[in-house]
Amino acid sequence: MLETVKRMHERGVRLHSGTDTLIAFIVPGAALHRELRLFTRAGLSSEEALTISMVTSAQAVGGVDYGRIEPGAPAELVIFREDPTRSLDALDTILGVVRDGRLYTREMLDDQLDRYRNHFENSLYEALLTPLVRSVVASTAPD
């Protein structure tokens, strides 16, 4: 698949990244970071992978103003300690996020992540959801 993605990119096929929000057993953002790293393993630069995620995919769902920092543009951005366009390892250096004009610090984001994990990583959630997910997967698996 990496070779296929590489060839598609080289031939100008418009690639998109996905989302993992509200998928059982996935912490939001974790799968997206993996997907971006897979793009780089397929031969794209870190900057190209980030552009796919932050601009191209957003534009595909109607976010035409994304990817610009200028007056009037949406004030949604991620602040990194290191430059993720040089290496996707910098994705782990988030200092904060600005969303709807409000700054969320790394500490605030980590607190929310802890709340998310506490909500979804517990025995009751696993006892109810795990059998359901396995049942759905088994019923949709090809024969």
Confidence band for 125, pLDDT divided at 50, 70 and 90 = low
Which segments within 1-143 are labelled E, that is strand?
Answer: 77-80, 94-99, 102-105
Q: Quote the CA–CA distance of 22 and 100 in Å, as a whole number.
A: 21
Average pLDDT, the chain: 84
For the chain, what is the domain count? 1
pLDDT at 103: 94
Whole domain around residue 44: which residue ranges? Answer: 2-140
pLDDT score of 20 more than 70: no
pLDDT at 26: 64
pLDDT digits (tens, 9 = 90+) for 56-67: 888 888 766 776
Mean pLDDT value across residues 78-84: 94
Confidence band for 16, pLDDT divided at 50, 70 and 90 = very high
Hey, which residues does 99 pair with through a beta bridge?
102
- 73 neighbors 39 (Cβ within 8 angstroms): no
* Structure tokens given for 67: 């990817």
A 10 A CB-CB count for 103 gives 11
pLDDT score of 15 more than 90: yes
* Structure tokens given for 56: 């191209």
pLDDT score of 74 more than 90: no
